[in-house]
Amino acid sequence: MKNGLEDGMKDPLQGNEFNGMREKLRDALPPLQQPELRRDLWPDMLRRIEQTPVRVPWFDWALLAISGAAAICFPALIPALVYHL
Amino acid sequence: MELLQRFVAGELDAFESLFRQHQRDVYRWIVRIVRDPAMAEDLTVETFWRMHRGRAGFNPEGNFTAWLRRIATNLALDHLRRRRPYVDLPDELAAEQKPDSAVQQQTRLALRKAFAELPPRLRVVAQLGLVENETYPEIAEALGISSGAVKTRMFRAVRLLRKKLQRSGVHP
């Protein structure tokens, strides 16, 4: 059993000013009783992985745009580009 | 090769093993903060997804559990910042409550409302420390702050709670 805030470090809530606050809070918001996972989440995880679109970095798009613009403005460069591919 | 090294290298089998080993712990931690089982399931998946995405930056010699818990806590905290002010706890999760007088019930409702209105960064500390009885070092590690900062936030949370309760006519 964990000691929580009762020990280990000096607790700023031990003064008279705060006496009873923890108890009242635990009464108003009861701690969870060993919450258990109701199902295996791995299928959800796989779906999440599959759903994620492949992200193309912005500089790849920029490179593509520059190449396209160069091909339109200077068609004579196309054979040179093809040669270097 | 060690499991963590295989995970960092991008092997799906290794990721699945880690997921199956840790999904329950991550879920339990998140549900304590958000107090909403369905949302905690979604946030658990999101935690592992972020972990999977950020695997290249993880050192296999490092503290995997602490890393995972930090991601989970940050996601839960983001959720608290986004969601509506108060979501009541489903009955099946909460500990049984004792029958009480009208005054006690009024105090309880006022306290719940005051607690829901706390800034999320104070609420998460008060939730884990006061309600769930987690230790300062554990909370500090999960939030990536010092134990001193946890103490300060705890102190401010309680002081704010008291102020809000007094304003609504309840004297804690």
Averaged pLDDT of chain B: 87
Is residue B93 a part of any domain in this protein? no
Q: What percent of chain B has pLDDT over 70?
A: 87
Alpha-carbon distance B138 to nearest alpha carbon in chain A (angstroms)? 9
**Do B110 and B156 belong to one domain?**
yes
What sign for the dihedral angle of Cα B98, B95, B126, B81?
A: negative
**Do B78 and B128 belong to one domain?**
no
Contacts of A27-30 spanning 24+ positions with Cβ under 8 A: A27/B97, A27/B104, A27/B108, A28/B107, A28/B108, A28/B109, A28/B111, A28/B112, A28/B115, A29/B35, A29/B89, A29/B111, A29/B112, A29/B115, A29/B127, A29/B131, A30/B89, A30/B94, A30/B95, A30/B96, A30/B97, A30/B131
Alpha-carbon distance A24 to nearest alpha carbon in chain B (angstroms)? 7
Q: Which residue has the higher pLDDT, A74 or A21?
A: A74
Find where tokens 């309880």 sit: B108
B 80-139: CB under 8 A from A: 89, 93-97, 104, 107-109, 111-112, 115, 126-127, 129-137
Torsion of CA B8, B11, B14, B20, to 10 degrees: 100
Q: Residue B141's domain spans which residues?
A: 102-167
Q: Which residue has the higher pLDDT, B76 or A11?
A: B76
Q: Which of B23, B28, B130 has its CB closest to that of A22?
A: B130
Which CATH number do you get for residue B9? Answer: 1.10.1740.10
Residues A28-71 pLDDT 10s: 888 887 788 889 999 999 999 888 767 778 888 898 899 889 88
**Do B147 and B78 belong to one domain?**
no
Question: What is the domain count for chain B?
Answer: 2
The three-class DSSP label of residue B94 is: strand
What pTM, to 2 d.p., does this model score?
A: 0.75
Is residue B8 a part of any domain in this protein? yes
The pLDDT of B93-113, averaged and rounded, is 71
Is residue B91 a part of any domain in this protein? no
**Do B73 and B108 belong to one domain?**
no
CB contacts of B131 in chain A (<8 Å) are 25-26, 29-31
Alpha-carbon distance A66 to nearest alpha carbon in chain B (angstroms)? 30
* Predicted local confidence at residue B108, as pLDDT: 85
**Do B9 and B78 belong to one domain?**
yes
Which burial class, exposed, middle or buried, applies to B159 when counting CB atoms under 10 A from its CB (0-12, 13-18, 19+)?
middle
**Final residue belonging to a domain, choices B82, B110, B132:** B82
**Do B53 and B8 belong to one domain?**
yes
**Do B147 and B113 belong to one domain?**
yes
**Do B68 and B29 belong to one domain?**
yes
**Do B69 and B123 belong to one domain?**
no
Is residue B132 a part of any domain in this protein? yes
Find where tokens 């701690």 sit: A31
**How confident is residue B24, by pLDDT bands cut at 50, 70 and 90?**
very high
* Predicted local confidence at residue A2, as pLDDT: 47
Q: Which residue has the higher pLDDT, B146 or B101?
A: B146
**Do B75 and B29 belong to one domain?**
yes
Is residue B87 a part of any domain in this protein? no
Is residue B95 a part of any domain in this protein? no
**Residue partners of B75: CB distance under 8 A and separation at least 6:** B30, B43, B46, B47, B50
**Residue partners of B40: CB distance under 8 A and separation at least 6:** A35, B27, B30, B31, B34
Chain length of chain A: 85
**Do B73 and B117 belong to one domain?**
no
Torsion of CA B141, B145, B147, B150, to 10 degrees: -110
Is residue B67 a part of any domain in this protein? yes
Which CATH number do you get for residue B123? Answer: 1.10.10.10
The three-class DSSP label of residue B115 is: helix
**Do B77 and B118 belong to one domain?**
no
Is residue B53 a part of any domain in this protein? yes
